[in-house]
Homo-oligomer: A and B are copies of this chain.
Amino acid sequence: MNVKIEIICIGNELLIGKTLNTNSYWLAKRATALGASVQRITVVSDDVNEIVIVIREALSRKPRFVITTGGLGPTFDDKTLEGIAKGLNRKLEVNDRALKLVRGKYEALLKEGRIEKIELTPSRKKMATFPEGSRPLRNPVGTAPGMLADVKKTSVIALPGVPPEMEAIFDESVAPMLKKEAGKSAFFETSIYIEGIMESSLAPLIDSVMHANPLVYIKSHVYVKYRPQVEGKRSHIELHFSTTSEKPKTANDVLGKAVKQMSELVQENGGNISATEAG
């Protein structure tokens, strides 16, 4: 099944170029490997109204999952849960199960002697203040739990912005859901690297190989070294072949056939295959 996903990354630090968005990269790679299909990635600020708008826009496209990152912490500009609640027209309320998880983190700190007493201050309660009808996802490495809210046929999942926390919640709670939905469908890929032929000369060759191999998607990527003055100079081109299939053998066969055809065409047209990479 084609499991459609949208990723929404929330945080001013991403819009001012302070933080490189490795979270969306990690999530896209992982979701793709699990057989799902990321349709769109949107980055917005920590503004509640912006979050409301992007959540509603994403829901209107009816993906199976909307995964947000960032904005789950204790500070006043952690607005994600408020934005999701408003976007879904739901009230915000202290979620008992989430509060239990948050309290458990402070109990552990108390036990280790790192704090003297457990105070569930407003900032700490905030991490357990969820849209009504949602449930927490355990955070194995940090304090703020993730959140899951089902809205018609879409599951809205909120993950923290701190990468190890985001990754841990995804792996523990989200990956199994994706895998279950995607079934046996998986993503297969392979690449060949080419020199001695320009991208503009490759273009019609790619076209013909894709035409002959409709299950295979081929994309060229130009890698440039030393900032060359013109196309082709000190550059090499990666041709990336990918397909989605339920059967690894079928996937490898169709990819292999397309790679072989492409390699022959490249060589006939004066190019060299400099390297190949298994999928």
Contact = CB atoms under 8 A, between A and B. Distances in A.
A111 to B, nearest CB: 10
Given A17-B30, A187-B16, A200-B143, A73 B220 contact: yes
A153 B18 CA distance: 28
A16 B28 contact: yes
Contacts of A206: 75-76
A262 to B, nearest CB: 13
Contact of A15 (B41, B121, B233): B41
Contacts of A224: 141-142, 162-165
Contacts of A199: 73-75
Contacts of A21: 21, 24-25, 41
Interface residues of A, number: 83
Given A29-B16, A227-B164, A228-B141, A40 B41 contact: no
A126 B19 CA distance: 35
Interface string A14-39: 11111111101111111111000111
Question: This chain: how many copies in the complex?
Answer: 2
Contacts of A25: 17, 19-21
A219 B123 contact: no
A187 B201 CA distance: 44
Closest 9 interchain pairs by CB? A17-B29, A17-B28, A123-B203, A143-B231, A41-B43, A74-B200, A75-B203, A15-B38, A16-B32
26 contacts: A13-B240, A15-B32, A17-B30, A17-B31, A17-B38, A18-B29, A18-B240, A19-B25, A21-B24, A40-B44, A41-B42, A42-B42, A73-B199, A73-B200, A75-B202, A75-B220, A76-B203, A76-B206, A109-B231, A114-B232, A123-B201, A142-B231, A143-B230, A164-B224, A164-B227, A168-B227
Given A18-B189, A46-B219, 14 more contacts: A13-B221, A19-B221, A21-B21, A21-B41, A42-B42, A73-B200, A74-B203, A76-B203, A76-B206, A123-B201, A123-B204, A126-B203, A143-B200, A162-B222
